């Protein structure tokens, strides 16, 4: 599964990367690993999977974040930053773990 996650994200990033400036290309594997490590410290798993028409699903109860493979890297970065800040604040709250949030 990890290999397919990286391939899906790499395709999305390469689609959005500028063709004439390869110095701006980001190492997607490293980017995903850093986010997985950050969320892993909070006990949260980050995966990339086909979600029909959704861009991101946050399952608070299952401690899982699922990103759509076609999500632009800049958008994914912004979403993950916001979710990470929220999760750090609410990780100890039992009330926050009763619900699931779906964002399209």
Residue 3 CA to residue 93 CA, distance in Å, equals: 34
Residue 92 CA to residue 86 CA, distance in Å, equals: 11
Q: Point out which residues pair with 57 in neighbouring strands.
A: 66, 102
Tell me what the pLDDT averaged over the chain comes to: 74
CB atoms within 10 A of CB 11: 13
Secondary element (H or E) of residue 13: helix 2-16
Looking at per-residue confidence, does 54 or 80 come out higher?
80
Looking at per-residue confidence, does 97 or 27 come out higher?
27
Backbone angles phi, psi at 42, to 5 degrees: -95, 0
Query: Structural domain boundaries of the chain?
Result: 2-103
pLDDT for the residue 101: 58
Residue 80: pLDDT above 90? yes
The per-residue pLDDT for range 9-52, each reduced to its tens digit, is 445 544 444 444 444 567 888 999 999 999 999 999 999 888 76
């Amino acid at each position: 599964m990890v290999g397919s996650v990286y391939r899906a994200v790499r395709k999305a990033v390469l689609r959005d990367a500028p063709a004439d400036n390869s110095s701006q290309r980001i190492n997607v594997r490293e980017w995903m690993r850093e986010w997985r490590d950050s969320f892993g410290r909070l006990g949260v798993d980050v995966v990339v999977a086909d979600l029909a028409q959704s861009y991101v699903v946050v399952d608070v109860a299952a401690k899982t974040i699922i990103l759509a493979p076609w999500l632009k890297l800049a958008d994914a970065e912004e979403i993950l930053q916001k979710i990470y800040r929220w999760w750090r604040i609410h990780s100890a709250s039992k009330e926050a773990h009763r619900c699931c949030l779906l964002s399209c």
